[in-house]
Amino acid sequence: MKITSIAIIFFGLLIFPFAKINAQEVSADDIIGIWLNQDEDAHVQIYKEGGKYYGKIIWLKNPIDDETGKPKLDDKNKDESLQSRPVMGLLLLKDFVFDEDEWEDGEIYDPKSGKTYSCYMEFPDENNKDRLKIRGYIGFSLLGRTVYWTRVK
């Protein structure tokens, strides 16, 4: 009897570090909403379409190009045919799928550099669904950059 009690306590201590105490479950649609980017100069609306998640710019702190006096264009894009499209309404996030606790297999476009990266997104703290970690990378996720966005209330 004593050995059984000790075994149960020992087993409990072994699994305790792996238990999620008071952690909220992350569901696929928790990411839907409006997010302020890390530079605090754009709002991105994340939405679901056809089972995948996308994000587009819906607000810019400075929507007008200082040089031209017209709306900012995607002029850093390597594809010349896309350089005349406006940044407002631009699709930044595309084709993300939810897998247990993160959104993966998507791409993020950076209009400031004109480059597209593989990407995944997750909540760094499952108890705070108002802060989003976004990791863009080339090849392996170890080679990349992480930014944090804040949910707009």
Considering the domain 23-151, what is its CATH architecture? Beta Barrel (2.40)
Sign of the dihedral through C-alpha 47, 49, 54, 60: negative
Q: What is the band of 12 on the pLDDT scale with cuts at 50, 70, 90?
A: very low
Tell me the C-alpha distance between 76 and 110, whole Å.
9
Average of per-residue pLDDT values in the chain: 89
Residue 106: pLDDT band with limits 50, 70, 90: very high
**Torsion angles phi and psi, residue 74, rounded to 5:** -80, 55
At 10 the pLDDT is 46
Tell me the pLDDT tens digit for each residue of 19-38.
Answer: 444 457 999 999 999 999 99
Residue 70 in this model has a pLDDT that exceeds 60? yes
| DSSP labels, the chain | -HHHHHHHHHHHHHHGGGS-SSPPPP-GGGG-EEEE-TTSSEEEEEEEETTEEEEEEEEESS-B-TTTSSB-B-TT-SSGGGTTSBSTT-EEEEEEEEETTEEEEEEEEETTTTEEEEEEEE-SSTT-TTEEEEEEESSSTTSEEEEEEEE--
Where along the chain do its domains lie?
23-151
- Taking only the tens place, the pLDDT of each residue in 38-59 is 999 999 999 999 999 999 999 9
How high is the pLDDT of residue 140? 79
Average pLDDT in the 56-79 region?
97
Q: How far apart are CA 56 and CA 62, in angstroms?
A: 16
pLDDT exceeds 60 at position 16: no
Q: Give 8's pLDDT tier (boundaries 50, 70, 90).
A: very low
Supply the pLDDT for residue 18.
45
> Which of 63, 56, 53, 64 minimizes the C-alpha distance to 37?
56
pLDDT, residue 3, reads 54
